[in-house]
Structure 1
C-alpha cells in the first residue's frame, strides 16, 4: 500500500490559532470523508473536485472512476483495507489503468494527460485547503505523483508479462501491502483488473472521455467473474 501515511499527510490545519475539528482537523478531514468514503451529498468527489465546482471535460470520467474504485465489494469481500489509504490505492489503480489505455492511441493521449493532471491537481488543491504552504506541498505532491505513476507503470507491466503470477504479485505489494493477504482475495482482484483493462481496450477513446466505462458500477464482483456487464471475451 501507499507508504505515505495519510495521518501525517493530512494534519490539522491551524488558522490564527483556531482549529475547526470537524471540517479541517486530522487525516479524516470532512473533505476526504465525503469524497473517498462516499459520505455527504453524493456530489463531492475525491479531494474536492465537485466541491469546488470545477468545470472540466474530464470530470465525468473522473467521477466514473471514483465510483468504480468505491465499489463496496473491494473492501467487504476482497480484503482491501477500508481506510483512506486503501480507497486511495483503489482510485490510483483505476485511474492509472485508464491513463495507460488512453495513452496507447494518439487520439487518447491528450485525455490521458488531462486525467492524470486532474488527479494530481485535485490533491494539490485539497492539501492547500487544509493548510499546507508551498514548501510542504511540493514534497508531498512529489511523493503522491511518484506513487501514482509508479503504480500505473507496474500494473501495466504486470498485465503485459508472460508470468501469470505477475499481476497478483504487483497487487499484493501495492494494494494490500501485506504478504499475509488471502491469496483468493488477491486472485479475484487480479481477475477484476484484467477484465477492466480488457474492457478499456475495447471501449472507444471518445466513449471513455465521456465517462462511459466498460462495466456496471452497480454490479458486485461474483466469485470467479469480472465486475463487468459488457466485456467481450
Structure 2
C-alpha cells in the first residue's frame, strides 16, 4: 500500500471494496419487505442478520459451483472477498452498536460459525422445498413458532433466488448483479 492509500485510510477516504456492489445487492435482496411480511421473518437485528446470511449463503454456494473446486478460479477469490466484506460489515455494525473491543472477537466467532453452518444447511436443502423449510425453521426462525405458510413462502423465495443465481453468469455476479441476463 502506498503513502497516498495510507493517508486516504487515515482520513476516511479509502476506496470502496471491489465487492461492495455485490454485497450491497445481497443486503438489498435480504431487505425485501416480502420476507418480513409474507415470510414472517422477524424485523429485528437478528432477523435481518439471518436474512443477509441466507442470501449470502446461497450466493457463496453459487460462487463455489462456478469455481468448481479450483481455489485459483476468480470465483473462489470473489467468494473469499465477499465473506471478508460481510465480516468487516458485521464488525462495523457491532462497533456502531457500542460493542467493546474485548467482546467483538466472541461475536465475530459466532457470526463466522453461523455463516459456515448455514452454508452447509442451505447447501443440503437447495433442491428440496421441504428440506429448505426445515433448514429455515432451524436457522432463519431459530426454532421459534412460525406459520407453515410463512416458512413455505420463504422456502419458495430462497429456492427461486437459488434458481436465479444459478442462471446468472459469473461476470454479472462479479459486477454486483444477482439477476440473470434478461
TM-score calculated relative to the size of structure 1 = 0.64
Match in the other structure for 1:104? 65
Q: Which moved more, 1:51-60 or 1:99-108?
A: 51-60
Question: Cα distance 1:52–1:155, how it changes in 2: closer, same or farther (>3 A)?
Answer: farther
Name the counterpart of 1:210: 175
Counterpart mapping for 1:107-186 below 5 A: 107-129=74-96, 130-133=98-101, 135-160=102-127, 164-178=129-143, 180-186=145-151
Greater length-normalized contact order (CA 8 Å, ≥ 6 residues apart): 2
8 A contact 1:196–1:214 mirrored in 2: no
Q: CA deviation at 1:111?
A: 0.7
The answer to whether the 8 Å contact 1:100/1:152 transfers is yes
Residues 170, 131 of structure 1: CA spacing in aligned structure 2 closer, same or farther, 3 A cutoff? closer
Contact 1:92–1:148 (CA under 8 A) maintained in structure 2: yes
Summarize the alignment of residues 14-163 of structure 1 with structure 2, pairs less than 5 Å apart: 55-106=16-67, 107-129=74-96, 130-133=98-101, 135-160=102-127
Cα offsets for 1:125-153 (capped at 9, x unmatched) = 333453522x3221111011101111121
Please provide the CA RMSD for this pair. Answer: 2.2
How far apart in 1 are the matches of 2:118 and 2:99?
Answer: 27
Unaligned 5+ segments in structure 1 are 1-50, 216-228
1:146 aligns to what SS in structure 2? helix
Are the equivalent residues in 2 in contact too, given 1:96–1:151 (CA < 8 A)? yes
* Gapped regions of structure 2 (runs ≥ 5): 1-11, 68-73
Q: Which has the higher helix share?
A: 2
Q: Distance in 1 between matches of 2:26 and 2:137?
A: 21
1: CA distance between counterparts of 2:13 and 2:35?
A: 28
Q: Which residue of 2 aligns with 1:220?
A: none
Instruction: For residue 81 of structure 1, give the secondary structure of its aligned residue in structure 2.
Output: coil
Instruction: Give the paired residue count.
Output: 164
